[in-house]
Amino acid sequence: MDARRRVDKLPLMSSISRAIPLRAISLLERLVAFDTTSARSNAPLIEFVRQELAAQGVESRVMMEGEKANLHAIVGPRVAGGIALSAHVDCVPVEGQAWLGDPFLLRREDGRLIGRGACDMKGFLACILAMLPEMLAADLARPFHLCLTHDEETTFRGADRLMDELGHEGPPPALCIVGEPSGMAPIVAHKGYASWEVVFTGLSGHSSRADETANALMAAAEAVAWLKAEARGFAAEGRRVEGFVPPYTTVHAGTFHSGSVLNIVPDRAEFTFEVRNVPGDTADDILARFVAHAESAILPELRRVHPASAMTVKARSVAPALDLDADHPLLALTQRASGSNSLGFVSYGTEAGYYQRAGIPAIVCGPGHIAQAHQPEEWIAESQIEACCAFLGRLIEDQAR
């Protein structure tokens, strides 16, 4: 895909009532008040949304997994060809951040709406709920699917599970718009993301007889060194996809824990690493080569001393890459509705790749900016709420008969 390609800017469609963004801000206040940080249940917020939908005659299906929930609702006729409006409702923790007020009490200051999740990404959901009466009043030829998920900030488990559920209540959506903060500019591609926890186990002993031990720390360090060599290789000779920063696949080890005192050989070491791959590279391939290297070059030395020595690898989270063709009608539709003729590339992952992998072309376009997310005093501009409501209004017009 050529990131430099642009299309002519398309005219904006009709404007919306000023009352609708005010309604969205009121709903955002309610949504922010739910503490849906990663370690907590999102079920109370999902129940609130279910009740909001039910009050306007929209049935929804809630799918529980332990204390976490997804929600799927169809607004309009249950026919093929609809658009999914997708949002995750979990948010990142607030501990250790310098907030100036209660993170779960929305504050309005100088055109900013401040609160945890206000930008990432409860603002998009608030706009959808605010526009629900307009959806219901329109004579829709094709439906909107409201898709809410859990655990996007950690494991992507909600999106992964939702893909198996979308066709249960009627034809699945034909297209998807994921409302992650993009400044209401279309994003057509993002890197894939995958991360793992790795544990090496060996045999402890006094360091004066290191020959009788199996040093798990040094084995793990060799494994991290291999990852560093891979990272250098991708930077120097890897596939280039211009538009991404950096334009190649990255490999990164982020944590490492092992040992207690210097003269005891550690029998356990653990670390985490991640891959952010450009379209065309796959995290699965990198993982397979990592495991093969450990089995052939690192573990045999440990097992000569201690046959039970092992390496375990546990997946933490996986987000497939997104790569929407610049000629796809979804891009033109999103550009027309947003008033932006851009087609952006980003290096962070979203749930859009899950829709694409399930055969549903997807794009990212939502209110707010990613630099405002995950921060203390997270905020979204009121003007972005207004722009998102107008964007949804134009989508409604496009889906009407």
285 flagged as catalytic:
no
Active site residue 90: yes
> Following DSSP, what letter does each residue of 8-64 receive, concatenated?
PPPPP-----THHHHHHHHHHHHHHTS--BTTS--HHHHHHHHHHHHHTT--EEEEE
Which position among 151, 152, 351, 386 bears the catalytic label? 152
Catalytic residue among 29, 35, 90, 382: 90
Cα–Cα distance for residue pair 348/315, rounded to 1 Å: 18
CB 385 within 8 A of CB 184: no
> Which among 343, 292, 291 is positioned nearest to 315, based on CA atoms?
291
Distance CA 275, CA 192 (A): 8
- 3-state class (DSSP) for residue 119: helix
For residues 24 and 127, the answer to whether their CB atoms sit within 8 Å is: yes
Nearest residue to 290 via CA among 202, 237, 228? 228
Residues 310, 311, 317, CA angle at the centre, nearest 5°? 155
Encoded amino acid at 12, one letter = L
Q: What are the contacts of 129-132 at 24+ separation with CB within 8 A?
A: 129/24, 129/27, 129/49, 129/52, 130/20, 130/21, 130/23, 130/24, 130/27, 130/389, 131/20, 131/24, 131/389, 131/392, 131/393, 131/396, 132/52, 132/53, 132/56, 132/58, 132/75
Q: Return the residue matching tokens 């005010």.
A: 22
Q: What are the catalytic residues?
A: 90, 152
